[in-house]
Amino acid sequence: MNFDDLKTRLRLPVVAAPMLLVSGPDLVIAAGQAGILGAFPALNARSTDQLKGWLEKIEGTLDEQPYAVNLIIQGPGAPRFADDLRLLEAIKPPVVITSVGNPAEAVERIHAFGGLVFHDVATLRHAQKAIAAGVDGLILLTAGAGGHTGTANPFAFVSQVRAFWNGPILLAGAISDGSGIAAARALGADLVYMGTRFAASEESLASEAYKALLVSETMADVVLTDRISGLPATFLRGSIVRAGLDPDALPDRLELFKPNLPEGIKAWRDVWSGGHGVGSIIDTPPVAEIVDRLVAEYEAAKARIKAI
């Protein structure tokens, strides 16, 4: 499958972004059936064997509709990387999203079976390194994105990447409605990367308490810190407090990938992520309903742009 093939199979230029402990096979399947690209982190499966079962379920249900698997190369994902990559070579998912580290080995092996590789980048330097590694697309993590994120302004980031890259760009950062999708496309992005909006869906693995926070909190409640996961990431203030921590006095991290949290407190499991788009979330409907709304909003936004 090439990128043009991928785009023609999507009803809407949107990826339901992979979210740690939130995206599972039901969310991926619902996203694919609704006409967007569903994605999940391989590490959400507790083992490579469970990952195999998830992939077989997704493949068997979606048939020809594309989906994506996220491989984390360094840090928490490193111990499973080799086994999970071998499994992907056997199953051959159409798209693999790589994060945190040099994707060169993954690119070579995924291209060998015909898969596409999109890589997370938060800086121009990382974008250039990913291109040199041979990736098919760049996921630009910009200010306000949920989970591991960047700090660049999307207007500047997209235009400056476009100065040296004419391949696919996926834009991530606080996009939660159809107007945001239209704006990203007008800016020069090919696809939009939306996580927080789909964390608050019926099919997500998020707990009811987590979903309630996604509905009740706003952009003012999003905390950007490297002290919870060991890398810069956005977390919901309410979940930090719920875990017994002070959002304004978090302990310094020990080193890269190694926070200094109290025993028993873990990022993603006990402290929950959300991007700046959280303030636009008012409910937790099924994925199909969210996509229907996005389609209507996107078409209305395109009409407004045409009228300018």
pLDDT tens track for 115-171: 999 999 999 999 999 999 999 999 999 999 999 999 999 999 999 999 999 999 999
Cα dihedral sign, 226-227-229-235: negative
Range of the domain at 144: 3-205+281-307
Among 145, 266, 275, 272, residue whose Cα is nearest residue 208: 272
Residue 257 has pLDDT above 90, yes or no: no
Mean pLDDT on 10-15: 98
Spatial distance between the Cα atoms of 27 and 195, rounded to a whole number of angstroms: 11
Residue 77 has pLDDT above 80, yes or no: no
In a domain, 194, yes or no: yes
Give long-range contacts, CB 8 A cutoff, 24+ apart: 125-133: 127/161, 127/165, 128/164, 129/102, 130/103, 131/164, 131/165, 131/167, 133/102, 133/103, 133/104, 133/107
pLDDT tens track for 267-286: 999 999 999 999 999 999 99
Our CA angle for 130, 189, 287, nearest 5°, is 100
Residue 76 has pLDDT above 80, yes or no: no
In a domain, 259, yes or no: no
Spatial distance between the Cα atoms of 275 and 279, rounded to a whole number of angstroms: 9
In a domain, 154, yes or no: yes
Q: What is the pTM of this model?
A: 0.95
pLDDT level of residue 54 (50, 70, 90 thresholds):
very high
CATH number, domain containing residue 50: 3.20.20.70
Per-chain mean pLDDT for the chain: 96
Spatial distance between the Cα atoms of 40 and 52, rounded to a whole number of angstroms: 13
Per the structure, the count of domains in the chain is 1
Helices (H), 113-223: 124-132, 154-162, 178-187, 196-199, 208-216
Spatial distance between the Cα atoms of 133 and 148, rounded to a whole number of angstroms: 21
Residue 30 has pLDDT above 90, yes or no: yes
Residue 47 has pLDDT above 90, yes or no: yes
In a domain, 103, yes or no: yes
In a domain, 173, yes or no: yes
Asked if residues 292 and 201 have their Cβ atoms less than 8 Å apart, the reply is no
Spatial distance between the Cα atoms of 188 and 185, rounded to a whole number of angstroms: 5
